[in-house]
Structure 1
Amino acid sequence: MTNPADMIPFAKTMGIIITSMDKEKVSGEMLVRPELCTAGNGRGTPSIHGGAVMTFADVLGAFGGFANLPEGSNGTTTSESKTNFLNAAPEGSIVYGEATPFKIGRRQSVWQTRITLEVGTLVAVVTQTQIVL
């Protein structure tokens, strides 16, 4: 499968890889590269920046909304997003995301994305609303 995230220049720059996508779930992964991290401030290993976490989740949820577009629609856009940051993801690790819908309607869909480390540690939970254009 070619990487659908490569269609979005910013997602490609972030290194987001969509590993599976259907109407009920979008999964992906992203390497926590140095340029996606906080400074660390001398307190150990730098970790993923909150903006990188939010971007990763936004891309996964957006592809979920896209996969569920009603016929004749032009796309989606995020109208709301809320993030709970729960644990750090250290530089060099891979974060895994899984977006699943709470609701899919004709005018909007609401998605929850869980971002974890390989060992299952929950890094963040993001809830977002995608408006149908």
Structure 2
Amino acid sequence: MRYLATKWPHAAPNTHNGIDESLTAVTLALLDERPGQSSEELLRKALRNWAFVLPSREERKLPTEVANALHWVAKASRPRSDLGDAAIGRAILDLLRLKLDGTAAAAETVQRKRRTLVNALH
């Protein structure tokens, strides 16, 4: 969220969308299997439309299903230290190469997602 707050105010609308898409993809890739998971569609909607946009979700009224999905995401998110595990890191990078339908994303899209991940980690 600190990364988002830094980049968002000075970014163009298409950049907002790219940041949102990248942070959503990275977040979904870093989730553990846990009971109570919402559908992937709802998780993606909650992240893209509520979590990774400004003003922050704390400043807006969330629908109950979105609030529940984001609460689950907070509990299921792996610690950042997991990125040090080569297998997990590779799996995340591999997921960033895919579009929603499972086909390969364009090279520029993959680079943008990787750049967002690296910048957010810094």
> Does the alignment reach a TM-score above 0.5?
no
Q: TM-score, normalised by structure 1?
A: 0.26
Counting helix residues as a fraction of each chain, which structure ranks higher?
2
Specify which structure has the bigger relative contact order, considering alpha-carbon pairs within 8 angstroms and separated by 6 or more residues: 2
Q: TM-score, normalised by structure 2?
A: 0.28
